[in-house]
Structure 1
Amino acid sequence: MADTHVLFVEDDDVIREATQLALERDGFEVTAVPDGLTGLEKFRANRPDIALLDVMVPGLDGVSLCRRIRDESTVPVIMLSARADSIDVVLGLEAGADDYVTKPFDGAVLMARIRAVLRRFEQAGGAGGSYGGEGDGRADGEPLRFGDLEVDTEGMEVRKGGEPVGLTPTEMRLLLEFSATPGTVLSRDRLLERVWDYGWGGDTRVVDVHVQRLRAKVGQDRIETVRGFGYKLKG
């Protein structure tokens, strides 16, 4: 993760300084600021590789800052919340965050989440991958088609009705996972493991909110809820 630039927005001086030192020891370059307005300014000036945003910061709260960042960029965002409050979590994810960590957090957990999000960003931004392999009936390089939805697994592009669909890297990874096995029900736990790279348990609300966001972009009826089991992509 050398030369990876982290924007860290946290108003608690102790947490901000301790976390910055831990990130720097792990090889990250860190811009740490105490409020949301300064965070937005630094984001626009420096274009970091990932943003860590505390929910409750002065000037411009973390959720609003996340929305502003998402309006301008697909850069990965992790929200930090002092409470495991459903409202905080869901608002942050609906604003476009890729993941969240509850404070007080273990440094190793935070580093693992950062690395997982960055891996998703890199994989979704590149060509190829393990989606849509041999034997799926397509010519090489031909997009997957589901009704009016086209998924180019090599160019990492999505079109609906011929028009490009802008997805975040996490949304793209989620759609690729569904596209690899259309019609197959995927459990939330499997999606957490495959998309979010959680080798341990995780909060399934992360999956639910991202599915909602993906539906809004590719069509509400394209991804079906199978109550009690998970989700599937309709062919």
Structure 2
Amino acid sequence: MRIRILGCSGGIGGRHLRTTSMLLDHDILIDAGTGVGDLSIAELVQIDHVFITHTHLDHIACLPFIVDTVGDMRNRPLTVHGTEEVLEILKSHVFNWAIWPDFSEIPTLEKPFLRFEKIQVDTPVQFGERRITAIKVNHTVPAVGYLLDSGRASLVFSGDTTICPELWQHVNAVQNLRYLIIECAFSNREHALATVSKHLCPSMLAEELTQLQREVELFITHLKPGQIELTMLEIEDSIGEFRPRMLQNNQVFEL
């Protein structure tokens, strides 16, 4: 399994800032933030599945454009996977004809460009040897993280979350865990904002990591533009023993 980071920023503001998305091999996306916009038409056509963590715009911004751009170039629908709550939000507030056409009905109900597939938390979805499992996290809207397992090694992506004991129970149970990608959206000076928006700041992340019982390579995602350097300095000060690294666009993980 090859995982390429398309976007990992908490905002926009330059060629190097793309919001959350990662490409598994050539055919699966985890989230569909603005990083998807850097893919070529040929690459977009190959995407068969999109797994959504939650429905905030920085994680779904490019989803409507994917199906609109390459729907007529494909011989089967693009499948969007999410929990029941996530799919209901997408149907009600995005693919509702008012914001965007409902591509699950066009060009016909029998042969649509888009289909929705409900997933259950803790229940793996299998693609050959690849397994993708939704993990419950704690955010302002219904949200999950994902465990990506090649059979040889695993990566956990937290998505957007705040304090969440359940996340660490899952992380600690993964026997072949190699990488942990976790958000830290704000610096410590924005602790109150992190709390109300259900994100993490370095002091909160440090407290959360006291529950980690596995050796992992730790990567930080979702840093807010304008606070990146400060937040990473605070992270180094508070959890330096974990050797945290900032996630980068176009970084590749091999599992």
Q: Which has the higher contact order (CA 8 A, sep 6+)?
A: 2
TM-score by length of 2: 0.29
TM-score by length of 1: 0.30
The structure with more strand, counted as a fraction of residues: 2
The structure with more helix, counted as a fraction of residues: 1
